[in-house]
Structure 1
Amino acid sequence: MTDLSETSQVRGEVKGGLLNRWSWRELWHGQLWPVAAALTIIIACVFSLAALVVRVEKIMVEQGRSMIAADLVFRSANPIEPALLERAAALGLTESQQVRFGTMAFSDEAMQLVSVKSVGDAFPLRGELQLEGPDGMRSRVAPGELWLAERLLGLLAVEPGDTVAIGDAELAVSGVIRQEPELSFNPFSQMPGVIIHADDLGRTGAIQPGSRVQYRAYFNGSDSQLEQLQAATELAPGQRWLSETSQGRTGDVIEKARQYLSLTLVLVIMMASATLVLTCSHYVNTRTDTVAMMKSLGAGRKWLWQWLARQLVMLFTVAAVVGGAAGYGLEFLLRLPLKDVLPAPLPAIGWTPLLISMLVALLVALPGLGIPLWRLVDAPALAVLQRELPARSDRRRYGLLVLPVVMALWFAGGNSLVWLTLVGISGLLVMLAGMGLLWVAMLRQVKWGAAMQLAVSRISRSPLATGAQLAALTSSLMLLAVIWLLRTDLLADWQQTLPADAPNVFALNIADDQQGAYLAALDSAGVERSDGYPVIRGRITHINQKGLLTTEGNDQAGEQDESLRRELNFTWRDTMPIHNELLEGTWGGRQGVSVESGIAERLGIGLGDSLSFSVNSQPFSATVTSIRKVEWRNMRPNFYFIFTPDVMAALPATWLVSFRVEAGQDALVNQLGRDYPTVSLLDLRIMATRIQGIMQQISLSLSVLAGVGVASGLLLVMTLLRLSLAQRRQEIKLYRTLGASRKRIAATVWGEYGMMALIAGGMAVLGAEAVVAALVKWGFELPLRWHPGLWLAVPVLSLLLVVVIVRSMIASLLEPLKG
């Protein structure tokens, strides 16, 4: 009995060893290696893309948070409630506080209105604070210290060690503020900055009932801790959370970059999955005879599944090892163009990219391999004799789609951008397939030569198959174009947001009798500047005699739009600013006002409406003559309301001008400060350089990611063409049997695939323009752009791919027919 047991065990081991060797040979010498290659590509692409996304997103978040000096900021018009700080402490968050207010600074020689920040020992929690004193550089503020913006030294005529009074407190000047982590973009609300320690706040006596004060609490911690704190805090009027995505220009850039990263990852997974499904389907078609033969020799379903399972285990093992290594190497290559802008050391990627790539590969392979292989196992034994005999239909195999679909829905979640893309592409594919068939029908009406006539006949013989093939080829080219066009539109928008020649210094509070000489001084120095703008602050009070403000200063409209709760900056001009765009109406006239499109939409203002305003308690009215589009992020002087000169020219105003100071012109800013001590100079050079650096970093990252997406699309297109040509072998054999020459067959193949490439390329352009227009308008909220270069590039690219694939395969297609 023992001998029989041992003999059975030995036979099992021998049988298992033979089955393993057979499975290994089948993997590499059969038709399964393209499936292994496709799975390897999925793992490598998803790993490299996910790793780069993790790094880039961490860098973007780090840069964004350094601009708010913490991971999360709570801003309030009232003192921070102890309950909030207690909740933060209970969650294990690091905390720091700040109080901001405006007051007068007095020296022995002069006085100046300043913006004071009172900070704690830990400030800043993120970013870098650079303070330069006689003893060198510092990064923290100590009790009893007073740090001034550099221009305050000239305005107050003081040096380090001199005494300056901030309210009731007299403090010795410790040095100069060289760099602050917090960035602000509104030149109209800027005053020279002063930093003191929180322990000295009470000594100033500057905070009295009715004072305009802003309180801030800064928090550092994990994302989950920060989310818990926000969820447990109910915001009152005048309170707001600030994060890296809510900080104007940089927040908008970071949020759009995140959207593009997630969308690109989804599209790359879609294209790589399609490649896997196509290669697996081709494998099943080529192995149907083998399975039918094994069934005719007595192989059962269980044995076939064991045979295939061994191959799949080997396949996944090889794909995981090779794909993981290739993905790591590809991620390194993707970082090479970014080496000059990425920080050192790089953020760690952890295990997330590898886990994501493996999970994606498994979810894609579950239906992509499972459904075709299930169909292969169900192939009847009689298929050896009758190839077209259908396999047993088992609808249970489609249950393999459930888990991947559920996971895809969970991943997409509330991402409207991904849903918009998927729905749009699905609808377009049906429409484009119909358009392709219409084009084919039109081609049939044209008289061609014999080879081309055969090609047209071949395309139109099976409308369903042709429509599916055109839809697949078109969708591949379309996804490729969508990835690249979105990248192009985003970069174009960011370049417009902060171009290389953007102003980096603002001069404010220029007296009317100084503005001519001030502009002349800039012109004589060869500085690129804006026009001079007269500026006066006031409020909008009525629209068509309907009041906007109640006696308390707030109403429903005010709750909807912050512009009604504060004074706005008004100006007047004969001509429209060159960086504004006229949307409606005409410029000029008398008693007129031009309104920015955003506030016009929010407040329901239209052409011909009568608006009432108040400046220094003086009411006046104007009629809306035009609506303008304003790009608020371009660091140029911009205004909600621009009046015709006759409306406000008699009112006293100061002047504003922006200009750009290049490297080597630092002395000019200092000289202007000495020559015009009453003019406020807002130097944004450090801030602009930091923002441009972040944008350059993100732009290069998106370009690299777009390159990965385009490569995935090209791989899918080439796979489609190769498999389609491989399926033509039987037809070509039939044509040769009927006497067709090699030359005519080659011409037919070239004509067929050339026409399909042109049709698919043209439809892909239409589809890409439609998808990108929808994403740009409703997803990224960017201006619509047409891409004329795309109309030539995509059809030419599809033709080139056809040339490459057909030339590489045409000889092998005809070679078996020699003799």
Structure 2
Amino acid sequence: MTELSTPAATPPTVYRGLLTKWSWRELWQGQLWPVAVALTLIIACVFALSALVMRVEGVMVDQGRSMIAADRVFRSANPLPPTLLERAEQQGLQTSVQTRFGTMAFSDEAMQLVSVKSVDSAFPLRGALSLQSANGVRHQVQPGELWLAARLFDLLKVKEGDTLAIGDAELVISGTIMEEPELSFNPFSQMPAVLIHADDLAQTGAIQPGSRVQYRAYFKGEDAQLAALQQATTLAAGDRWLSETTQGRTGDILEKARQYLSLTLILVIMMATATLVLTCLHYVSTRRETVAMMKSLGASRRWLWLWLSRQLVMLFTLAALAGGAIGSGLEYLLRLPLGAILPDALPSVGLMPWGVSVLVALLVALPAMGIALWQLVEAPAIAVMQPQVDVPLNPERYLLLLFPVLAALWWFGDNGLMWVTLAGLFILMGVLGLLGVLVVAVLKRFRWGAAMQLALSRISRSPLATGAQLAALTSSLMLLTVIWLLRSDLLSDWQQTLPADAPNVFALNIAPEQQADYLAALDAQNIMRSEGYPVIRGRITHVNDDALLTMSASSATDTPNASATASESDAETGSETPVRDESLRRELNFTWRESLPEHNTVIAGEWGAAGGVSVESGIADRLGIELGDKLAFTVNSQDFTATVTSLRDVEWRNMRPNFYFIFTPDVMAHLPATWLVSFRIEAGQEGLINQLGRDFPTVSLLDLRTMATRIQGIMQQISLSLSVLAGLGVVSGLLLVMTLLRLSMAQRKLEIKLYRTLGASRQRITATVWGEYGIMALIAGIMAAIGAESVVAALVKWGFELPVTAHPWVWVGVPVLALLLVVIIIRSMLQQLLLPLQR
């Protein structure tokens, strides 16, 4: 038998034209168009997601960097090394310098402790600095100018144009600081702010040997240049680099948002790839006899690959163009709900999303399509007469899996969260498939009606195929549920982090004799406040007579409520010298109470035993502290001990007074202490801050209203972004489920004809189909709920480091969703499948 080849009388161009027309016809009239749709779906989804992720991440990074006024900040307790600025200029980075210190400001009628920031004319490199004067709004500080925080005008009884003494310098007040880009929880920097120019710093004479001063250098430029500068800088004691991810509360939010964005993109790619695999397998099953017939007419493997490759090139080209266009439109639609919070000038993404989407589609298509088509080309010619003949297994084709695997190795690198997630998902898919087969086997042991018995028989006929179908259906339902649950848990955590009624002002250094009057003044104005807390600053020195390393950095300071995350604690120390724990670098805030704070939870031991101390669980783990240990402390050179009676979980980010160590009153009540209270100032109550400052001039007020508003704005922005991305992920999952069900239904066509030939009625066949898919949907929905809860619990606990919460609605919602999808698919296809049965 001769092979199909180019006839001698037929010119090659004519032959290629005929082959091209045949390929086009096969693409549109054959069964290859579902593959094209699946490939287009991958490109469109990856394009839209990657473009939106790049834009949203760019906005989040910009917001985070605006919070530190630059792309990178070098902070030190020592004067800035000249080589640092020289190296930055050589690399083409924009720079700005700042000197920050506390001092007294004197007017003719009053005095006030202030935080002075000496900046140059380039400050800020990021974010907005708004300075209001009678001449309008300014955005940079010029030599000879003095700008005050709004509440200083009342505290110092001054107005614009008056003279104010800062150290030895007398400067004319230029106007009001309306908005600053830099915000932090450092009480030293949260004193009322004063801005002067760097040229006027020397004449203040405020910086003397032993003065508490902080120096900062700000840099703006390309990330690679910034990383090189940071790598080339040797840190001394008191030095630290700051970025948008090290700023405690906002850094934590940004990092978790990035993790979720990346995870959502991976899960969407997985679901779209599964759709492509299913459609490819379906195409192979429909074209097996065609290829066998072509082989019987003499077609060689080379000719078949040429025939298929033309179709694949056409298919991929169309999918790349259509997917890019659809993805661009989809990304625009996804941005519409975010229009109110996204900036007008969004970060440009260029052609990167299209290139990424095409590359991802190519990498997943190589094994997804290549393995299936390899199997198709290997179909023997005898399959024309014996369609069920087995194709010899060729292990070489599975080498195509190396392409996406190697790409994943390069892409994920050492991202442990991604690798653990992927490994867990694949293991869980296998387990769920096996469980599904076992459940069907158990159900088959019971007595059912004829239709249900036939449905169970059909499901269990091929355990491998049944397991694969159940695993695919379960996994798709599980993945879309995981995407939505993670989004819900993240938003819930952020809402608890900064609820709408969170305190936004702290009153510090309240003298014991002022405490009752201060609380009464707040209560008279119906201000929502916390209880009063006595505060003493001290150090932990020993655990069970074992001395702890205690290092004091010159820039060390604790937050007023000790409510710092690990990164915030690091940020306050200003040192990179390794110690056992950052809490050992500085004095901590101690307090005593008879009752447990309502926002703390005891997780071990009992509260309130005499001579005891309750320890926050995080610092207990880091320092190896356990129940029953004897701890030694020092306060103002006075040593004392306490026994650990309980361990507490503390939410450090809720802007409430929180402490590492809370003692029983008998341990510390005899020591002199000042008091702390937090409260919330609502819109329209701004005057109360100034009134409190006048009535209690020795009390320090930490006003976090601007910070809270900015953080809430960022959280709103990220929350909406995650909701939109989660919605797209769920839609991708639903498309996968519907594709799976439609292909599975299409495969029933021959079986339905056989049932009819054997005498089965239309009603019996209809009942069997409903029973089969109803059972599969119910089993898949229940197992998907189990799998989703397990995956989310693992990701939340070890990946995002959040408290694990149950989601009762999943146990009902996911099975109902699976049944609803089955109803939609069966109702749309059953009538067509039963056409041969109509009389």
Q: Same fold (TM over 0.5)?
A: yes
The residue type paired with residue 570 of structure 1 is F
The residue type paired with residue 631 of structure 2 is L
- Residues 141-176 of structure 1 show CA distances to partners (whole Å, capped at 9, x for unaligned) of 112222222222233333223333322322222222
Note if contact 1:549-1:558 (Cα within 8 Å) is conserved in structure 2. Answer: no
Provide the residue aligned with 1:403 in structure 2. Answer: 403
Note if contact 1:185-1:635 (Cα within 8 Å) is conserved in structure 2. Answer: no
CA distance in 2, matches of 1:140, 1:630: 41
CA distance in 2, matches of 1:161, 1:610: 59
CA distance in 2, matches of 1:329, 1:9: 49
- Residues 332-354 of structure 1 show CA distances to partners (whole Å, capped at 9, x for unaligned) of 11111111111112221211111
Note if contact 1:596-1:629 (Cα within 8 Å) is conserved in structure 2. Answer: yes
Residue from 555, 559, 570 that aligns with 2:579: 559
CA distance in 1, matches of 2:58, 2:518: 45
The residue type paired with residue 108 of structure 2 is D
- Residues 47-104 of structure 1 show CA distances to partners (whole Å, capped at 9, x for unaligned) of 1001100110000000000000000111122111122222211211111111122223
Residue from 826, 832, 835 that aligns with 1:806: 826
Provide the residue aligned with 1:280 in structure 2. Answer: 280
* Structure 1 residue 189: Cα displacement: 6.7
Provide the residue aligned with 1:319 in structure 2. Answer: 319
Give the total of aligned pairs: 813
CA distance in 1, matches of 2:49, 2:533: 48
The residue type paired with residue 623 of structure 2 is L
Instruction: Say if 2:11 is the partner of 1:11.
Output: yes
3-state secondary structure, aligned to 1:237: coil
Q: 294-303 vs 325-334, which deviates more?
A: 294-303
1:637-648 aligned at under 5 Å gives the runs 637-648=657-668
Provide the residue aligned with 2:838 in structure 1. Answer: 818
Gaps of 5+ in 2: 1-6, 555-574
CA distance in 1, matches of 2:165, 2:112: 11
CA distance in 1, matches of 2:758, 2:550: 92
Provide the residue aligned with 1:3 in structure 2. Answer: none
Q: 502-511 vs 394-403, which deviates more?
A: 394-403
The residue type paired with residue 675 of structure 1 is D
Q: 242-251 vs 74-83, which deviates more?
A: 74-83
- Residues 731-753 of structure 1 show CA distances to partners (whole Å, capped at 9, x for unaligned) of 22211111111111111111111
Note if contact 1:145-1:174 (Cα within 8 Å) is conserved in structure 2. Answer: yes
Provide the residue aligned with 1:675 in structure 2. Answer: 695
- Residues 521-543 of structure 1 show CA distances to partners (whole Å, capped at 9, x for unaligned) of 22222221111222222222222
Instruction: Say if 2:249 is the partner of 1:249.
Output: yes
Residue from 585, 592, 600 that aligns with 2:620: 600
CA distance in 2, matches of 1:451, 1:223: 65
Provide the residue aligned with 1:712 in structure 2. Answer: 732
Report the TM-score, using the length of structure 2 for normalisation: 0.94
The residue type paired with residue 311 of structure 1 is Q
Q: Which runs of 4+ in 1 moved over 4 A?
A: 7-10, 186-189, 549-558
Provide the residue aligned with 1:230 in structure 2. Answer: 230
* Structure 1 residue 355: Cα displacement: 0.6
The residue type paired with residue 99 of structure 1 is T
Instruction: Say if 2:415 is the partner of 1:450.
Output: no
Provide the residue aligned with 2:815 in structure 1. Answer: 795
Provide the residue aligned with 1:106 in structure 2. Answer: 106
CA distance in 1, matches of 2:781, 2:180: 52
Q: 113-122 vs 778-787, which deviates more?
A: 113-122
Note if contact 2:537-2:635 (Cα within 8 Å) is conserved in structure 1. Answer: yes
Provide the residue aligned with 2:759 in structure 1. Answer: 739
1:285-364 aligned at under 5 Å gives the runs 285-364=285-364
- Residues 272-319 of structure 1 show CA distances to partners (whole Å, capped at 9, x for unaligned) of 011011101100110111112222223222332222222112212221
Note if contact 2:487-2:722 (Cα within 8 Å) is conserved in structure 1. Answer: yes
* Structure 1 residue 323: Cα displacement: 1.2
* Structure 1 residue 188: Cα displacement: 7.7
Note if contact 2:549-2:579 (Cα within 8 Å) is conserved in structure 1. Answer: no
Provide the residue aligned with 1:4 in structure 2. Answer: none
Provide the residue aligned with 2:611 in structure 1. Answer: 591
CA distance in 2, matches of 1:301, 1:623: 81
3-state secondary structure, aligned to 1:786: coil
Provide the residue aligned with 2:526 in structure 1. Answer: 526
CA distance in 2, matches of 1:551, 1:578: 33
Residue from 607, 610, 613 that aligns with 2:630: 610
3-state secondary structure, aligned to 2:642: strand
1:78-477 aligned at under 5 Å gives the runs 78-187=78-187, 190-477=190-477
CA distance in 1, matches of 2:190, 2:309: 69
* Structure 1 residue 551: Cα displacement: 9.4
* Structure 1 residue 10: Cα displacement: 7.2
CA distance in 1, matches of 2:43, 2:13: 33
CA distance in 2, matches of 1:309, 1:559: 62
Provide the residue aligned with 1:486 in structure 2. Answer: 486
* Structure 1 residue 393: Cα displacement: 4.1
- Residues 118-147 of structure 1 show CA distances to partners (whole Å, capped at 9, x for unaligned) of 111111100111222332222111122222
CA distance in 1, matches of 2:311, 2:614: 72
3-state secondary structure, aligned to 1:211: coil
3-state secondary structure, aligned to 1:559: coil
3-state secondary structure, aligned to 1:217: strand
* Structure 1 residue 430: Cα displacement: 2.0
CA distance in 2, matches of 1:234, 1:79: 14
Provide the residue aligned with 2:557 in structure 1. Answer: none
3-state secondary structure, aligned to 1:387: coil
Note if contact 1:271-1:712 (Cα within 8 Å) is conserved in structure 2. Answer: yes
The residue type paired with residue 707 of structure 2 is M
Q: 81-90 vs 118-127, which deviates more?
A: 81-90
Provide the residue aligned with 2:594 in structure 1. Answer: 574
CA distance in 2, matches of 1:651, 1:391: 86
Note if contact 2:550-2:585 (Cα within 8 Å) is conserved in structure 1. Answer: no
Q: Pairwise CA RMSD of aligned residues?
A: 2.1
Q: 645-654 vs 444-453, which deviates more?
A: 645-654
Instruction: Say if 2:707 is the partner of 1:687.
Output: yes
CA distance in 2, matches of 1:75, 1:646: 41
Provide the residue aligned with 2:60 in structure 1. Answer: 60
Note if contact 1:460-1:466 (Cα within 8 Å) is conserved in structure 2. Answer: yes
Provide the residue aligned with 1:42 in structure 2. Answer: 42
CA distance in 2, matches of 1:259, 1:817: 53
Note if contact 2:115-2:189 (Cα within 8 Å) is conserved in structure 1. Answer: no
* Structure 1 residue 557: Cα displacement: 11
Note if contact 2:149-2:177 (Cα within 8 Å) is conserved in structure 1. Answer: yes
Inter-CA distance 637–187: structure 2 relative to 1 (3 Å threshold):
farther
Q: 480-489 vs 100-109, which deviates more?
A: 100-109
Note if contact 2:552-2:585 (Cα within 8 Å) is conserved in structure 1. Answer: no
Q: 635-644 vs 129-138, which deviates more?
A: 129-138
Note if contact 1:187-1:506 (Cα within 8 Å) is conserved in structure 2. Answer: no
CA distance in 2, matches of 1:103, 1:774: 50
Instruction: Say if 2:702 is the partner of 1:701.
Output: no
* Structure 1 residue 186: Cα displacement: 4.2
Note if contact 1:757-1:795 (Cα within 8 Å) is conserved in structure 2. Answer: yes
Note if contact 1:508-1:680 (Cα within 8 Å) is conserved in structure 2. Answer: yes
* Structure 1 residue 8: Cα displacement: 7.3
- Residues 693-716 of structure 1 show CA distances to partners (whole Å, capped at 9, x for unaligned) of 100000110011111111111111
Note if contact 1:596-1:640 (Cα within 8 Å) is conserved in structure 2. Answer: yes
3-state secondary structure, aligned to 1:739: coil
Q: 549-558 vs 641-650, which deviates more?
A: 549-558
Q: 629-638 vs 690-699, which deviates more?
A: 629-638
Note if contact 1:548-1:557 (Cα within 8 Å) is conserved in structure 2. Answer: no
Q: 438-447 vs 698-707, which deviates more?
A: 438-447
Note if contact 2:237-2:577 (Cα within 8 Å) is conserved in structure 1. Answer: no
Q: 272-281 vs 359-368, which deviates more?
A: 359-368
3-state secondary structure, aligned to 2:689: helix
- Residues 669-716 of structure 1 show CA distances to partners (whole Å, capped at 9, x for unaligned) of 232223323322222222111110100000110011111111111111
